[in-house]
Protein backbone atom coordinates (compact mmCIF):
# COMPACT_ATOMS: atom_id res chain seq x y z
CA UNK A 1 0.00 0.00 0.00
CA UNK A 2 2.81 2.40 0.89
CA UNK A 3 4.69 1.60 -2.30
CA UNK A 4 1.66 2.18 -4.49
CA UNK A 5 0.70 5.49 -2.87
CA UNK A 6 4.32 6.68 -3.07
CA UNK A 7 4.79 5.63 -6.67
CA UNK A 8 1.59 7.18 -8.05
CA UNK A 9 2.66 10.84 -7.66
CA UNK A 10 5.95 10.05 -9.41
CA UNK A 11 4.12 8.30 -12.22
CA UNK A 12 1.76 11.26 -12.54
CA UNK A 13 4.68 13.66 -12.75
CA UNK A 14 6.31 11.59 -15.48
CA UNK A 15 3.06 11.43 -17.45
CA UNK A 16 2.61 15.16 -17.06
CA UNK A 17 5.78 15.64 -19.09
CA UNK A 18 4.96 13.00 -21.66
CA UNK A 19 3.33 13.40 -25.05
CA UNK A 20 0.71 10.82 -24.06
CA UNK A 21 -0.55 12.99 -21.24
CA UNK A 22 -0.59 16.05 -23.50
CA UNK A 23 -2.76 14.21 -26.02
CA UNK A 24 -5.16 12.94 -23.37
CA UNK A 25 -5.51 16.30 -21.67
CA UNK A 26 -5.61 18.40 -24.87
CA UNK A 27 -8.41 20.92 -25.30
CA UNK A 28 -10.81 20.01 -28.07
CA UNK A 29 -10.78 23.41 -29.72
CA UNK A 30 -9.19 24.85 -32.80
CA UNK A 31 -7.37 28.04 -33.57
CA UNK A 32 -6.93 30.11 -36.71
CA UNK A 33 -3.29 30.47 -37.70
CA UNK A 34 -3.13 33.53 -39.95
CA UNK A 35 0.10 34.66 -41.55
CA UNK A 36 -0.50 38.32 -42.45
CA UNK A 37 2.47 39.62 -40.49
CA UNK A 38 6.13 40.38 -41.14
CA UNK A 39 7.26 39.56 -37.60
CA UNK A 40 5.69 36.15 -36.93
CA UNK A 41 7.71 33.25 -35.49
CA UNK A 42 8.83 30.37 -37.69
CA UNK A 43 6.43 27.47 -38.28
CA UNK A 44 8.68 25.15 -36.26
CA UNK A 45 8.49 27.49 -33.26
CA UNK A 46 4.72 27.83 -33.70
CA UNK A 47 4.49 24.04 -33.63
CA UNK A 48 6.10 24.11 -30.18
CA UNK A 49 3.70 26.82 -29.03
CA UNK A 50 0.64 24.90 -30.26
CA UNK A 51 1.84 21.74 -28.53
CA UNK A 52 2.35 23.60 -25.26
CA UNK A 53 -1.17 25.06 -25.58
CA UNK A 54 -2.62 21.57 -26.18
CA UNK A 55 -4.63 22.86 -29.15
CA UNK A 56 -6.07 19.97 -31.15
CA UNK A 57 -7.02 21.69 -34.42
CA UNK A 58 -5.63 24.43 -36.66
CA UNK A 59 -7.28 26.27 -39.51
CA UNK A 60 -5.12 27.81 -42.22
CA UNK A 61 -6.15 30.20 -44.95
CA UNK A 62 -3.81 28.49 -47.41
CA UNK A 63 -1.77 25.31 -47.52
CA UNK A 64 1.62 26.67 -46.45
CA UNK A 65 4.09 23.80 -46.99
CA UNK A 66 6.45 24.97 -44.23
CA UNK A 67 3.62 24.90 -41.70
CA UNK A 68 2.34 21.50 -42.79
CA UNK A 69 5.87 20.07 -42.62
CA UNK A 70 6.52 21.62 -39.19
CA UNK A 71 3.48 19.83 -37.77
CA UNK A 72 4.39 16.39 -39.10
CA UNK A 73 3.55 13.62 -36.59
CA UNK A 74 2.05 16.18 -34.18
CA UNK A 75 -1.47 14.73 -34.24
CA UNK A 76 -2.91 18.22 -34.73
CA UNK A 77 -5.79 18.27 -37.22
CA UNK A 78 -5.65 20.78 -40.07
CA UNK A 79 -8.15 22.61 -42.19
CA UNK A 80 -6.27 23.95 -45.20
CA UNK A 81 -7.71 26.60 -47.48
CA UNK A 82 -7.80 27.67 -51.09
CA UNK A 83 -7.58 31.31 -52.13
CA UNK A 84 -10.76 32.98 -53.33
CA UNK A 85 -9.13 34.07 -56.56
CA UNK A 86 -8.42 30.42 -57.38
CA UNK A 87 -12.10 29.39 -57.35
CA UNK A 88 -12.75 29.89 -61.09
CA UNK A 89 -9.70 27.77 -61.90
CA UNK A 90 -10.63 25.06 -59.40
CA UNK A 91 -13.92 24.46 -61.18
CA UNK A 92 -11.81 22.50 -63.66
CA UNK A 93 -11.44 18.90 -62.36
CA UNK A 94 -7.84 18.68 -63.60
CA UNK A 95 -6.87 21.85 -61.71
CA UNK A 96 -8.62 20.63 -58.56
CA UNK A 97 -6.78 17.32 -58.79
CA UNK A 98 -3.46 19.13 -59.31
CA UNK A 99 -4.12 21.36 -56.29
CA UNK A 100 -4.64 18.35 -54.04
CA UNK A 101 -1.62 16.55 -55.47
CA UNK A 102 0.54 19.59 -54.70
CA UNK A 103 -0.96 20.81 -51.42
CA UNK A 104 -2.40 17.75 -49.65
CA UNK A 105 -0.91 14.50 -50.92
CA UNK A 106 2.76 15.26 -50.06
CA UNK A 107 1.92 15.92 -46.41
CA UNK A 108 -1.07 13.82 -45.43
CA UNK A 109 0.93 10.72 -44.49
CA UNK A 110 2.50 12.66 -41.59
CA UNK A 111 0.31 15.74 -41.08
CA UNK A 112 -3.34 15.19 -40.23
CA UNK A 113 -5.15 17.19 -42.91
CA UNK A 114 -8.85 16.52 -42.40
CA UNK A 115 -10.61 19.27 -44.36
CA UNK A 116 -10.24 21.68 -47.27
CA UNK A 117 -12.02 25.03 -46.95
CA UNK A 118 -12.71 26.12 -50.50
CA UNK A 119 -12.64 29.90 -50.29
CA UNK A 120 -13.35 32.16 -47.34
CA UNK A 121 -16.39 34.44 -46.95
CA UNK A 122 -16.90 34.31 -50.71
CA UNK A 123 -20.38 35.85 -50.72
CA UNK A 124 -19.11 39.02 -49.00
CA UNK A 125 -17.20 40.02 -52.12
CA UNK A 126 -20.34 40.41 -54.27
CA UNK A 127 -18.32 39.02 -57.17
CA UNK A 128 -20.55 37.04 -59.55
CA UNK A 129 -17.62 35.01 -60.88
CA UNK A 130 -16.58 33.92 -57.38
CA UNK A 131 -20.16 33.34 -56.25
CA UNK A 132 -21.02 31.08 -59.18
CA UNK A 133 -17.66 29.27 -58.96
CA UNK A 134 -17.90 28.30 -55.29
CA UNK A 135 -20.05 25.16 -55.48
CA UNK A 136 -18.48 23.81 -58.73
CA UNK A 137 -15.02 24.28 -57.15
CA UNK A 138 -16.13 22.44 -54.00
CA UNK A 139 -17.52 19.61 -56.13
CA UNK A 140 -14.36 19.35 -58.22
CA UNK A 141 -12.19 19.25 -55.10
CA UNK A 142 -14.31 16.51 -53.55
CA UNK A 143 -14.32 14.45 -56.76
CA UNK A 144 -10.55 14.80 -56.93
CA UNK A 145 -10.26 13.52 -53.35
CA UNK A 146 -12.41 10.53 -54.30
CA UNK A 147 -10.31 9.74 -57.37
CA UNK A 148 -7.11 9.99 -55.32
CA UNK A 149 -8.49 7.75 -52.56
CA UNK A 150 -8.47 10.53 -49.95
CA UNK A 151 -12.18 11.21 -49.46
CA UNK A 152 -12.34 9.05 -46.33
CA UNK A 153 -9.67 11.19 -44.68
CA UNK A 154 -10.35 14.67 -46.04
CA UNK A 155 -13.67 16.45 -46.49
CA UNK A 156 -14.62 19.66 -48.30
CA UNK A 157 -16.44 22.76 -47.08
CA UNK A 158 -16.27 26.57 -47.22
CA UNK A 159 -16.28 29.22 -44.49
CA UNK A 160 -19.01 31.87 -44.62
CA UNK A 161 -19.31 35.19 -42.83
CA UNK A 162 -22.33 35.78 -40.62
CA UNK A 163 -23.47 38.31 -43.22
CA UNK A 164 -25.16 35.44 -45.10
CA UNK A 165 -27.79 35.44 -42.33
CA UNK A 166 -30.69 37.86 -42.80
CA UNK A 167 -32.47 37.15 -39.51
CA UNK A 168 -30.95 35.77 -36.31
CA UNK A 169 -33.17 36.91 -33.42
CA UNK A 170 -34.92 35.12 -31.99
CA UNK A 171 -32.79 32.14 -33.06
CA UNK A 172 -35.82 30.21 -34.32
CA UNK A 173 -36.35 32.94 -36.95
CA UNK A 174 -32.93 32.29 -38.47
CA UNK A 175 -32.93 32.70 -42.25
CA UNK A 176 -30.41 33.20 -45.05
CA UNK A 177 -30.49 36.35 -47.16
CA UNK A 178 -33.04 35.92 -49.90
CA UNK A 179 -30.65 36.76 -52.76
CA UNK A 180 -28.17 34.10 -51.57
CA UNK A 181 -30.60 31.21 -51.20
CA UNK A 182 -30.21 30.20 -54.86
CA UNK A 183 -26.50 29.59 -54.14
CA UNK A 184 -26.70 28.32 -50.56
CA UNK A 185 -29.49 25.79 -51.18
CA UNK A 186 -27.38 23.57 -53.52
CA UNK A 187 -24.34 24.04 -51.26
CA UNK A 188 -26.36 22.63 -48.36
CA UNK A 189 -27.41 19.67 -50.52
CA UNK A 190 -23.72 19.08 -51.27
CA UNK A 191 -22.87 19.16 -47.55
CA UNK A 192 -25.64 16.68 -46.81
CA UNK A 193 -24.46 14.41 -49.63
CA UNK A 194 -20.83 14.19 -48.52
CA UNK A 195 -21.58 14.68 -44.78
CA UNK A 196 -19.35 17.73 -44.35
CA UNK A 197 -19.96 20.62 -41.92
CA UNK A 198 -21.28 24.09 -42.65
CA UNK A 199 -18.68 26.61 -41.44
CA UNK A 200 -19.71 30.04 -40.18
CA UNK A 201 -17.62 32.94 -38.84
CA UNK A 202 -19.54 34.39 -35.88
CA UNK A 203 -18.43 37.45 -33.92
CA UNK A 204 -20.65 38.77 -31.12
CA UNK A 205 -18.13 41.63 -30.90
CA UNK A 206 -19.34 43.12 -34.18
CA UNK A 207 -22.95 42.96 -33.07
CA UNK A 208 -22.08 44.69 -29.79
CA UNK A 209 -19.90 47.30 -31.51
CA UNK A 210 -22.76 48.17 -33.83
CA UNK A 211 -25.36 48.57 -31.07
CA UNK A 212 -23.77 48.86 -27.61
CA UNK A 213 -26.74 50.72 -26.13
CA UNK A 214 -29.18 47.88 -26.79
CA UNK A 215 -26.97 44.78 -26.55
CA UNK A 216 -25.81 43.71 -23.10
CA UNK A 217 -22.05 43.41 -22.76
CA UNK A 218 -22.51 40.56 -20.27
CA UNK A 219 -24.66 38.74 -22.83
CA UNK A 220 -21.94 38.82 -25.50
CA UNK A 221 -19.13 38.00 -23.03
CA UNK A 222 -20.75 34.86 -21.54
CA UNK A 223 -21.08 36.67 -18.22
CA UNK A 224 -24.06 36.21 -15.86
CA UNK A 225 -27.15 37.95 -17.24
CA UNK A 226 -30.90 37.46 -17.50
CA UNK A 227 -30.62 36.47 -21.17
CA UNK A 228 -33.63 36.08 -23.42
CA UNK A 229 -36.25 33.46 -24.26
CA UNK A 230 -37.11 32.45 -27.81
CA UNK A 231 -40.90 32.84 -27.92
CA UNK A 232 -41.29 30.05 -30.49
CA UNK A 233 -39.13 27.35 -28.90
CA UNK A 234 -39.28 28.64 -25.30
CA UNK A 235 -35.52 28.07 -25.10
CA UNK A 236 -33.45 30.33 -22.86
CA UNK A 237 -30.28 31.96 -24.22
CA UNK A 238 -27.70 33.52 -21.92
CA UNK A 239 -25.05 34.31 -24.55
CA UNK A 240 -25.08 35.62 -28.09
CA UNK A 241 -22.72 33.10 -29.72
CA UNK A 242 -24.95 30.13 -28.91
CA UNK A 243 -27.97 32.10 -30.15
CA UNK A 244 -26.10 32.81 -33.38
CA UNK A 245 -25.29 29.13 -33.84
CA UNK A 246 -28.90 28.07 -33.34
CA UNK A 247 -30.03 30.78 -35.77
CA UNK A 248 -27.79 29.18 -38.42
CA UNK A 249 -29.29 25.77 -37.68
CA UNK A 250 -32.77 27.33 -38.05
CA UNK A 251 -31.78 28.91 -41.37
CA UNK A 252 -30.49 25.56 -42.63
CA UNK A 253 -33.65 23.81 -41.46
CA UNK A 254 -35.74 26.43 -43.26
CA UNK A 255 -34.12 25.18 -46.48
CA UNK A 256 -35.03 21.59 -45.71
CA UNK A 257 -31.97 20.20 -43.88
CA UNK A 258 -31.57 18.85 -40.36
CA UNK A 259 -28.63 16.62 -41.29
CA UNK A 260 -25.82 19.19 -41.45
CA UNK A 261 -23.52 20.09 -38.56
CA UNK A 262 -22.65 23.75 -37.97
CA UNK A 263 -19.11 24.58 -36.86
CA UNK A 264 -17.73 27.97 -35.88
CA UNK A 265 -14.73 28.54 -38.15
CA UNK A 266 -13.92 31.90 -36.56
CA UNK A 267 -14.86 33.70 -33.38
CA UNK A 268 -12.91 35.96 -31.09
CA UNK A 269 -12.60 39.39 -29.52
CA UNK A 270 -10.04 42.14 -30.24
CA UNK A 271 -7.83 43.49 -27.49
CA UNK A 272 -7.52 46.88 -29.15
CA UNK A 273 -9.56 48.96 -31.57
CA UNK A 274 -10.14 52.39 -32.99
CA UNK A 275 -12.15 55.15 -31.27
CA UNK A 276 -15.37 53.87 -32.82
CA UNK A 277 -14.72 50.22 -31.93
CA UNK A 278 -16.49 50.13 -28.60
CA UNK A 279 -15.62 47.17 -26.38
CA UNK A 280 -12.26 46.34 -27.97
CA UNK A 281 -10.17 46.04 -24.81
CA UNK A 282 -7.78 43.44 -23.36
CA UNK A 283 -10.17 42.92 -20.45
CA UNK A 284 -13.14 42.09 -22.68
CA UNK A 285 -11.04 39.91 -24.95
CA UNK A 286 -9.78 37.96 -21.94
CA UNK A 287 -13.28 37.49 -20.56
CA UNK A 288 -14.76 36.43 -23.92
CA UNK A 289 -12.11 33.88 -24.82
CA UNK A 290 -11.62 32.46 -21.33
CA UNK A 291 -15.38 31.95 -20.89
CA UNK A 292 -15.61 30.45 -24.37
CA UNK A 293 -12.85 27.95 -23.56
CA UNK A 294 -14.64 26.98 -20.35
CA UNK A 295 -17.76 26.13 -22.32
CA UNK A 296 -15.70 24.11 -24.80
CA UNK A 297 -13.94 22.28 -21.97
CA UNK A 298 -17.33 21.48 -20.42
CA UNK A 299 -18.52 20.17 -23.81
CA UNK A 300 -21.53 22.46 -23.74
CA UNK A 301 -24.04 22.45 -26.56
CA UNK A 302 -26.46 25.16 -27.59
CA UNK A 303 -30.00 25.31 -26.14
CA UNK A 304 -31.42 23.80 -29.36
CA UNK A 305 -28.74 21.09 -29.50
CA UNK A 306 -27.58 20.53 -25.91
CA UNK A 307 -26.08 17.10 -26.62
CA UNK A 308 -23.83 18.38 -29.44
CA UNK A 309 -20.74 20.16 -28.04
CA UNK A 310 -19.97 23.38 -29.88
CA UNK A 311 -17.06 23.04 -32.30
CA UNK A 312 -15.05 26.26 -32.41
CA UNK A 313 -11.94 27.70 -34.05
CA UNK A 314 -10.76 30.73 -32.07
CA UNK A 315 -9.54 33.73 -34.03
CA UNK A 316 -6.62 34.10 -33.87
CA UNK A 317 -3.29 32.75 -32.75
CA UNK A 318 -1.24 35.94 -33.29
CA UNK A 319 -1.77 39.64 -33.74
CA UNK A 320 -1.06 40.14 -37.46
CA UNK A 321 0.39 43.56 -38.24
CA UNK A 322 -0.23 43.44 -42.00
CA UNK A 323 -3.97 42.81 -41.89
CA UNK A 324 -5.94 45.56 -43.61
CA UNK A 325 -8.98 47.26 -42.16
CA UNK A 326 -9.67 48.91 -38.79
CA UNK A 327 -7.27 48.64 -35.86
CA UNK A 328 -9.18 45.74 -34.31
CA UNK A 329 -8.35 43.51 -37.30
CA UNK A 330 -4.69 43.53 -36.24
CA UNK A 331 -5.47 42.79 -32.60
CA UNK A 332 -7.50 39.58 -32.43
CA UNK A 333 -4.50 37.44 -31.45
CA UNK A 334 -4.09 35.51 -28.23
CA UNK A 335 -0.35 36.06 -28.59
CA UNK A 336 2.06 38.72 -29.72
CA UNK A 337 4.47 37.53 -32.42
CA UNK A 338 7.25 37.25 -29.79
CA UNK A 339 5.25 34.53 -28.03
CA UNK A 340 4.06 36.62 -25.08
CA UNK A 341 0.34 36.36 -24.34
CA UNK A 342 -1.73 39.47 -25.04
CA UNK A 343 -3.77 38.57 -21.95
CA UNK A 344 -4.17 35.58 -19.67
CA UNK A 345 -6.91 33.06 -20.49
CA UNK A 346 -5.38 30.16 -18.61
CA UNK A 347 -3.44 28.64 -21.51
CA UNK A 348 0.21 28.20 -20.65
CA UNK A 349 2.14 28.35 -23.90
CA UNK A 350 5.49 29.57 -25.15
CA UNK A 351 7.56 30.12 -28.25
CA UNK A 352 11.05 28.68 -27.66
CA UNK A 353 14.15 30.78 -28.01
CA UNK A 354 15.87 27.82 -29.61
CA UNK A 355 14.82 26.15 -32.83
CA UNK A 356 11.96 23.73 -32.79
CA UNK A 357 14.32 20.83 -33.59
CA UNK A 358 16.71 21.43 -30.72
CA UNK A 359 13.78 22.01 -28.35
CA UNK A 360 12.19 18.73 -29.38
CA UNK A 361 15.44 16.83 -28.77
CA UNK A 362 15.92 18.37 -25.35
CA UNK A 363 12.31 17.66 -24.44
CA UNK A 364 12.66 14.02 -25.42
CA UNK A 365 15.75 13.74 -23.24
CA UNK A 366 13.97 15.31 -20.27
CA UNK A 367 10.94 13.07 -20.73
CA UNK A 368 13.15 9.98 -20.90
CA UNK A 369 15.04 11.05 -17.78
CA UNK A 370 11.87 11.54 -15.75
CA UNK A 371 10.39 8.23 -16.87
CA UNK A 372 13.62 6.33 -16.17
CA UNK A 373 13.89 7.97 -12.77
CA UNK A 374 10.32 6.98 -11.92
CA UNK A 375 10.94 3.40 -13.02
CA UNK A 376 14.16 3.06 -11.01
CA UNK A 377 12.50 4.55 -7.93
CA UNK A 378 9.59 2.14 -8.25
CA UNK A 379 11.96 -0.82 -8.62
CA UNK A 380 13.91 0.31 -5.53
CA UNK A 381 10.71 0.65 -3.51
CA UNK A 382 9.62 -2.86 -4.48
CA UNK A 383 12.95 -4.30 -3.44
CA UNK A 384 12.47 -2.86 0.06
CA UNK A 385 9.17 -4.78 0.65
277 is catalytic: no
Establish if 361 belongs to a structural domain. no
Establish if 259 belongs to a structural domain. yes
- Structural domains counted in the chain: 1
Tens of pLDDT along the chain (385 residues) come to: 433 333 333 333 433 333 333 333 455 789 999 999 999 999 999 999 998 888 999 999 999 999 999 999 999 999 999 999 999 999 999 999 999 999 999 999 999 999 999 999 999 999 999 999 999 999 999 999 999 999 999 999 999 999 999 999 999 999 999 999 999 999 999 999 999 999 999 999 999 999 999 999 999 999 999 999 999 999 999 999 999 999 999 999 999 999 999 999 999 999 999 999 999 999 999 999 999 999 999 999 999 999 999 999 999 999 999 999 999 999 999 999 999 999 988 766 556 664 334 333 334 333 344 444 455 555 555 555 5
Please tell me the pTM assigned to this model: 0.84
Selecting among 121, 277, 286, 320, the annotated active-site residue is 121
CATH of the domain at 287: 3.20.20.80
Report the pLDDT value the prediction gives residue 52, as an integer from 0 to 100. Answer: 87
Establish if 277 belongs to a structural domain. yes
Report the pLDDT value the prediction gives residue 53, as an integer from 0 to 100. Answer: 87
121 is catalytic: yes
Establish if 17 belongs to a structural domain. no
Structural domain containing residue 266: 30-353
Establish if 378 belongs to a structural domain. no
Establish if 149 belongs to a structural domain. yes
HEC string of the chain?
CHHHHHHHHHHHHHHHCCHHHHHHHCEEEEEECCCCCCCCCCHHHHHHHHHHHCEEEEECCCCCHHHHHHCCCCCCEEEEEECHHHHHHHCCHHHHHHHHHHHCCCCCCCCEEEEEEEEECHHHHCCHHHHHHHHHHHHHHHHHHHHCCCCCCCEEEEEEEHHHEEECCCHHHCEECHHHHHHHHHHHHHHHHHCCCEEEECCHHHHHHHCCCCCCHHHHCCCCCCCEECCCCCCEECCHHHHHHHHHHHHHHHCCCCCCCEEEEEECCCCCCCCCCCCCCHHHHHHHHHHHHHHHHCCCECCCCCCCECCEEECCCECCCCCCCCHHHHCCCCECCCCCECCCCCCCCCCCCCCHHHHHHHHHHHHHHHHHHHHHHHHHHHHCC
Establish if 23 belongs to a structural domain. no
Report the pLDDT value the prediction gives residue 365, as an integer from 0 to 100. Answer: 36
Selecting among 85, 261, 266, 297, the annotated active-site residue is 266
Establish if 3 belongs to a structural domain. no
Amino acid sequence: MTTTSFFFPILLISLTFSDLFVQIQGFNFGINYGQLGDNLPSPSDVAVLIKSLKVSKIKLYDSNPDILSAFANSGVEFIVGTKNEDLPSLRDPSNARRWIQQNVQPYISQTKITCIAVGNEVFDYNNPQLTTSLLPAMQSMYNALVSLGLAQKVTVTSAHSYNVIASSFPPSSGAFKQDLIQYIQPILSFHAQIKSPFLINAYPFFAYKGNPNKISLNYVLFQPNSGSIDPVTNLHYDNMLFAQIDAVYAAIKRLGHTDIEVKISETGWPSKGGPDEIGATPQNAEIYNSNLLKKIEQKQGTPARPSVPVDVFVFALFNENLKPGPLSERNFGLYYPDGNPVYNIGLEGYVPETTGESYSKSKVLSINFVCIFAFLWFTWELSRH
